[in-house]
Chain A
Amino acid sequence: MTLASSLVLLSGIAVLWRHSLAAYIRAFARQSFLIVVAMVLVAAQTGDERLYLVAALVFLIKVVLIPNVLQRVQRHVGADLEIHPYVNTPASLVITGALTLLSYGVALPVTALGSLPTRGGIPLALATVFVGLFILVSRKSALSQIIGFLILENGIALLAVLATFGVPLIVELGVFLDVLLGVLVMQVFVYRIRETFDTVDVDRLKKLRH
């Protein structure tokens, strides 16, 4: 379980050191798949059938559907490299290390108090949330920002599974719908940005066109 969570975090970090957007999308799909694995493991441990259903839905939406949508966007927009992020790669990696330490520090009381078998993964899930947030603020391309948002969301989903063995099904469904619609709306936005400004680099949006 801890292993699955650390792999989730690692595929989040993979985004920070790769440059191509296709690799970002693959890393996100891999991360979602690892979350499915973690969910199935938790479900097998607790014997909760609804968690299997949630895991199946996550697989359908986050491993198959969203990466496909993103790949189509990426092909259509024709942006394939995140060239100059606000923070360069080595600095990002160091910052990620600091964020991970921070989340361990924050989660220390929780892991010390709790007696859950899954408590080893909680700081890692928290760190995934932080890494997602960091990608969101440090990358320029609109597509990588979407990926950052999705990684953040993955971290929250993992945290929910590890800390509470899954939230009620209706909440989970609401979140899925939210994420799916969010991605679709953002897809439209990316197209619009691209049409208007001829780029998906959000740094350029500061200037008015004329």
Chain B
Amino acid sequence: MIPWLLEGLQCLLTLLLAPGLIGFVRLLKARLQGRRGAPLVQPYRDLAKLLDKERVVSTQASWIFHAAPFVVFASTLVASLLIPLVAAPLPFDRVGDLIVVVYLLLLGSFFLALAGLDTASPFGGMGASREMTIAALAEPTIALAIFGMGAGAGSTNLGEIVARTLAHPGSTLGSGHLMAFAALFIVMLAECGRLPVDNPATHLELTMIHEAMILEYSGPYLALVEWAAQMKFFLFLALLSNLVCPWGVAVALRPGTLGLAVAALVLKLAVLAAGIAVLETRLAKLRLFRVPELLGVSFLLALLAITSSFLVR
């Protein structure tokens, strides 16, 4: 019974902390750039405001347009059940591993792209085609990096990787693991529409990717899509931090360890988010045509990760 409650807790944490994480990154970026910035709770207010508004749907829209927000939201929420956020062996580990998590998140992007195409607005089509280009380029990297991580720990099961890393940190945390981390980090920036690939703060039509795709959404639908995007960012960061630095994740179930696990999760996310804020302040957006080069680098990193963990034992 208790393990299932844990899953519920993970879901709840994802739902509640994700907007806060985005707010934290925005606040930190604002401070670094010498602005005062919106308060930490601003994303929550935005979501509440959007949920309260009416929704306007084009008369041309088909059922895909109505279904997409729910698919995106649900698939992201399901992914949160599989990632060891606070506790390592989860009951849902039997259902799926790292591969399922990544493709659940990609399923969301796929439906968003479909919805972008659905209303036949030029921006939606442009955003969808860009998003799919980036997803297609990121895809091989993700697969290779997963196997690189899995080869180090002997399994692609997330709970297994975390438990193995906690038990033998020396053998799993080699250079291969770290390179896979770097590769996944770059992919995370691309998939979540962060700075060198997409600028989350702009609405300039020539540069936007994610924004262009969801331009037609309004009201509660937009809230769902935005919330799902925030949860995706949250999950990617949690995944990255717990794969490389799993200390703090509760292996044994006692109330004390669980509290510690939540605190450790928040701390790790804060560190990663601060890193991203600094990175985004220092970097300019890449030209769209240079994005393949960046993803090429991450592909190479993943390839090196997998060779170094397979061929050198």
* B83 adjacent to chain A (CB < 8 Å): no
7 closest A-B pairs (Cβ-Cβ)?
Answer: A93-B296, A6-B175, A3-B175, A90-B296, A89-B293, A97-B303, A120-B312
* A71 adjacent to chain B (CB < 8 Å): no
**Which of B178, B296, B307 meets A94, CB within 8 Å?**
B296
CB pair A104–B297 under 8 Å, yes or no, is no
* A36 adjacent to chain B (CB < 8 Å): no
**Which of B174, B179, B297 meets A17, CB within 8 Å?**
B297
Main secondary structure of the interface of B (DSSP, over half): helix
With a cutoff of 8 Å between Cβ atoms, the chain A residues found around residue B304 in the complex are 6, 9-10, 97, 100
Main secondary structure of the interface of A (DSSP, over half): helix
CB pair B296–A2 under 8 Å, yes or no, is no
Q: In the complex the two chains form, what is the Cα distance from A97 to B179 in whole Å?
A: 14
CB pair A100–B293 under 8 Å, yes or no, is no
B290's nearest neighbour on chain A, judged by CB, is A89
A95's nearest neighbour on chain B, judged by CB, is B300
* B308 adjacent to chain A (CB < 8 Å): yes
CB pair B293–A93 under 8 Å, yes or no, is yes
CB pair A2–B311 under 8 Å, yes or no, is no
With a cutoff of 8 Å between Cβ atoms, the chain A residues found around residue B293 in the complex are 17, 89-90, 93
Q: In the complex the two chains form, what is the Cα distance from A63 to B21 in whole Å?
A: 40
Q: In the complex the two chains form, what is the Cα distance from A9 to B301 in whole Å?
A: 11
Please list the residues of chain B having a beta carbon within 8 angstroms of any beta carbon in chain A: 174-175, 178-179, 292-293, 296-297, 299-301, 303-304, 307-308, 311-312
With a cutoff of 8 Å between Cβ atoms, the chain B residues found around residue A94 in the complex are 296, 300
A124's nearest neighbour on chain B, judged by CB, is B308
CB pair B297–A2 under 8 Å, yes or no, is no
Q: How far is the CB of B180 from chain A (nearest CB, A)?
A: 12
Q: In the complex the two chains form, what is the Cα distance from A123 to B308 in whole Å?
A: 9
Q: In the complex the two chains form, what is the Cα distance from A5 to B303 in whole Å?
A: 16
With a cutoff of 8 Å between Cβ atoms, the chain A residues found around residue B303 in the complex are 97, 100-101
